[in-house]
Structure 1
Amino acid sequence: MLAWATGKNRNVHLSLLAGLLIFLLSIFYLKWGTSENEAGVYKHKHSNNTFLSHFKSSFTGVNFGTWEFDVVRDGDNYGLSDSQCSAAFPKLYSDVDEMVSRRENNHISKTDFDSVEGDHVQKSIRAMIHNGELYIVSDDGLAALQSRGFATLHAINRALLTYPDRAQLPNCEFRVYVGDFAGQGDDTLWVYTKPVQSDTENLWLMPDFGMYDWPEAMIGSYTKSRRDMRAVEEEVPWEQKTRKLVWRGIIMPNYQSRQDFLRVAQNRSWADVAAESISEPDGHMISMADFCRWMFVADVKGNSWSGGSKYKHNCHSVFVSQRLAWREIYTGAMVDSGPGQNWVSVRDDWSNLDETLQDLIADPVKAKTIADNSVRTLRDRYLTPAAEACYWRRLIQGYASVSFEPDFYEKDNITWRGTPFSSVALMGTVRWKSDQDSLITVARVRHS
């Protein structure tokens, strides 16, 4: 009996010693296993941290140091925790916080929600989140404006599926508006943009559809665009970039700002600008990744915000545009003056564009500092896929805190009000007949 007890204790002691050894090795790894380069990015690729992550999580009472965002390790991580999201992107949620404050004493009601009509119905998709799952209630705007609606819904669904505690997210019902600009009406909508000076209590900023995919513009997925642009950057480092301002874009009759820009910039020694034309053999088309071959990249608003700005910020180039007129989710991280300057703003009529470019070309150190700041703050932090997913969840949490609790069932308390997004994504519609022939027909039409 004594021998058995002694052997058991020996095994316990050996297990404790083994555990202590693993603990000490993990501490050694955390302290000396990584190093940072001048941009604050870990050189180590963190390609095999799965075991360490699980190991660390079991020591809840041990201080393993403060977590810091690392773009190599975390940039494409859609499943950061709430605390990690807050630590990584403190400037990302200003619009959500502002809207929550505005509606704190005037909550969104179901009656107000049901009163939406006109353009705001035709270009919006009514959706609901319940127990962390996405449901589509009405597909009024699902086919509007090409792939925007589906791209946005897929992005929301991705942010939900990658969140470990998604069932703990609050329930909410909302409308995704897929148009360029929703106006200043009383309808409560989730929108891609709104004026910087907007004081509306009803328009909630959401991520641009292009942060998921934009096939009609021949750009493709956002993650692929970022990889393509990084490949160009490796091929053409800063010193080898063309020292000119590049711009391409479509000119429409109501795009006065683009017409003014071309009038000022065309035929200048520092400019490589042209209007695009898909129908002509020489349509001046260049890929989004190839914008990174120039040292200066111009962005000009169209009908409202510019859908190309987020891509251009992914270049290690100097981003040049008019003073901010339209908000996007990352606008709070843009700085146009001081030591943290990460882009260059010019007058709305472009009248000081020539002077601005001449000064930048004459001061390459200043120009590179602005480009470096842009990479560090925008490309490698606030415009990462991780930041987008964090924003979606913060939007859901903030919006739900000042909104009504949606009804999951119809009045019969049996029929679901919404259709799971997985079905809508496959069928392309919210409602279809239940007989098999109709389902096959719908599927064929959807995938033809």
Structure 2
Amino acid sequence: MSTPTRPSSVFPRGSWAEASRIAAVLRGETVGGALLLGATVVALVWANSPWSAAYAGLRDLEVGPAALHLDLSLGTWAADGLLAIFFFVAGLELKREFVAGDLRDPRRAALPVVAAVGGMAVPALVFVLVNLRTGSGALAGWAIPTATDIAFALAVLAVVSTHLPSGLRTFLLTLAVVDDLLAITIIALFYTRELHPLMLLLALVPLAAFGLLVQKRVRSWWLLVPLAVVTWALVHASGVHATVAGVLLAFTVPVIRSRAAGGPEAGPGMAEHFEHLVRPLSSGFAVPVFAFFAAGVTVGGVSGLTESLSDTVAIGIVLGLLLGKTVGVFGATYLMARFTRASLDEDLSWVDVAGLAVLAGIGFTVSLLIGELAYGSGSERDEHVKVGVLLGSLLSALVAAVVLRLRNRVYRRLCEAEELDSDADGTPDVYEVPGKSV
């Protein structure tokens, strides 16, 4: 029996295998989100304590070989180096979603892509409108509220979503990954101040070698890691932000197992293998360390907070994250349902979509990174950016948690009233159609 309506649904339930995988990712990101939150709190407390000079000294401590122009501060190492690991994982996830996930169907892939574009364009427009009459280069930060933080957003969703439909979780993960890809594209195109094409061309050599090895299913870390590091160093030297190297490396990794290895049914491919290995390093170390060095803004009490929020840059960020993201994601989703043959899945309500759109306003990691690139690390306006990002992300998280928690109670009651049965194969009946599992 065919199921013609499922591919055209907005937030479809998807397959049982994909729902199980997303649930596993959410469990891992809950821990990463907790570590990220902990690192942020420690940085804020330390930066506003009598020992704030020690925090600044640690963040600005320069290490690395000067001969290779890599004598960078620890804060820069975190932003340029550790976040490359984060974007490597994001690139793996994105490629897997579009090659082997439920979103390999163009009709399913269109929705999160369009929603991500809407969630990028509207916050940027809000920021520009707020800062249109502000001088001193305020508009340089137009891209700050465009990014959704994967770790924070998924952690919040994991805490409140014990019974929310899996389609929402899959959508948020894909939206966040596409969002980050758009953000890193913006960084490469608009925040590259000085480009050295020769270095960029040289970076293609180790990148190609890395791609050749992984295409041949070579997993030897002593071969792959040096090639990845050289690629990163050359991209860094080219003037393009070094995190772009992480995405480029991820895109070379094959998703489907080769026929020689038994095909896709024989087990996980290289992308899933690398993601399994690197995700704990990304969410458990790289992102929290970046947050520790990036979030340490000296607020200066109520007066300092008031001063920061008197800057239209901070106001534009808060409004962009809280309102712009909500309008952009929800509006793009609604328009897709209104003007295409797609319709909202019968298990969902538009309130669910609104809650998810608000949750997308958590723009922590990449927003802080763009703020540093736009205004300069340690500048007064960069401090205001941090306040705006922290406040906007916090408000988005709180509002989304309230909305989704209320919806979670509704779905929990439905699940208790109509418990799902499982067959001997372990796949819930709701994920099956006559004759096969989906």
Task: Bin the TM-score by the shorter chain.
Answer: under 0.3
Q: Which has the higher helix share?
A: 2
TM-score by length of 2: 0.24
Q: Specify the structure having the higher radius of gyration (Cα).
A: 1
TM-score by length of 1: 0.24
Choose between structure 1 and 2 for higher RCO, CA contacts under 8 A separated by at least 6 residues: 2
